[in-house]
Amino acid sequence: MLLPLLALTACGSGDADGTAAVGAQASPAPTDDPVAAVRKVDSAAALLPADVRKAGTLRVGSSVGFPPGAYYPNGPDEAPAGQDIDLADAVAKVLGVKLERQDASFETILPALGSGKYDVGTGNFGVTSERLKTIDFVTYINDGQGFAVKKGNTTLKSKVTDLTQLCGLTIGTGAGTTFEATLSAQKGVCAKAGKKPYDVKVYSENAATLTALQQGRIDVIMSTINGLRYQAAQPASQTAFLGEFHRLDVGFAFKKGSELTKAFQAAVNVLIKDGTYARILAKWSTSASAIETSRINPPEHR
């Protein structure tokens, strides 16, 4: 769902095509490993379906590409890193299973859960009322929607609290995301306010979105709060974070009616209780998005 200058491959909103912005460099991953000490917890593992316990593996559709969620610090031929990677690995260790991680573009993962291609999906999937019609979620963080501009851009001088502030501007965002859905659903707000409508440019690859911002082809980016905040903290990105717009719970995604949800919820809560969860979020500077307890299919934040 984001577009860092730092590890531009796939993202929470699209597939990778190897494109990178000029001067893009991978951001090195923190070296501490809070997942190393995690051990199997029998009471949580017992909640897994018998066939999963027997097989000992789960197929994960993983959207990889931007820090702090999931990205390739050493290139796509090496292992991914990030908050989502650590949390998924820690949950797997609590449950005593191994993950078969398959890279996938963001917009393809949720449909693939329904077809049975993956057992679980990761990619900073926000819990929305529309998605809850077809997907089950087990929450692990509270993130959401935010905006960023090119550093020094004075078109937007303050936090975006109302989409009418974007009227007349061109917004770049990711395909299949909650951002695209929000912008499409609210397209009429500018006309109602007597203003020129905003234009939405949808990108399937984050490098292209950031390049469009740097070159002035878009005025503002709508993406994840944590991702945009992380990006703005990197001097090379030359972006400025405009603050939170709308908070959303984020969770592991499953096909509707999946028997895996109770086990995943129990595992996340084990990690919260024993402190591993807090250490993972501290590692990736996302502690402000911590949740107190994992929930299955909470209602969308309003």
For 161-191, the pLDDT digits (tens) are 999 999 999 999 988 888 999 999 999 999 9
Q: Spell out where the chain has E strands.
A: 57-62, 98-103, 120-126, 135-150, 170-174, 199-203, 220-224, 239-255
Does 112 have pLDDT greater than 90?
Answer: yes
DSSP class of residue 196?
Answer: P
Average pLDDT in the 85-94 region? 98
Q: Do the Cβ atoms of 257 and 136 come closer than 8 Å?
A: yes
Position 26 confidence tier, pLDDT thresholds 50, 70, 90? low
Mean pLDDT of 253-277: 98
Q: Is the peptide bond before 235 cis (omega within 30 degrees of 0)?
A: no
The answer to whether residues 30 and 282 touch, using CB atoms and an 8 Å cutoff, is no
118-169 tens-digit pLDDT = 999 999 999 999 999 999 999 999 998 999 999 998 888 788 999 999 999 9
pLDDT in tens, 232-244: 988 888 999 998 9
- Six token digits for residue 75: 């290139």
How many CA within 13 A on the CB side of residue 284? Answer: 27
Strands 120-126 and 57-62: parallel
- Position 25 scores a pLDDT of 41
Rounded-to-integer distance, Cα 207 and Cα 18, Å? 9
Q: What token pair was written down for 17?
A: 């095509």
* Token digits of residue 42: 């029998």
pLDDT of residue 24: 36
Whether the per-residue pLDDT at 18 is higher than 70: the answer is no
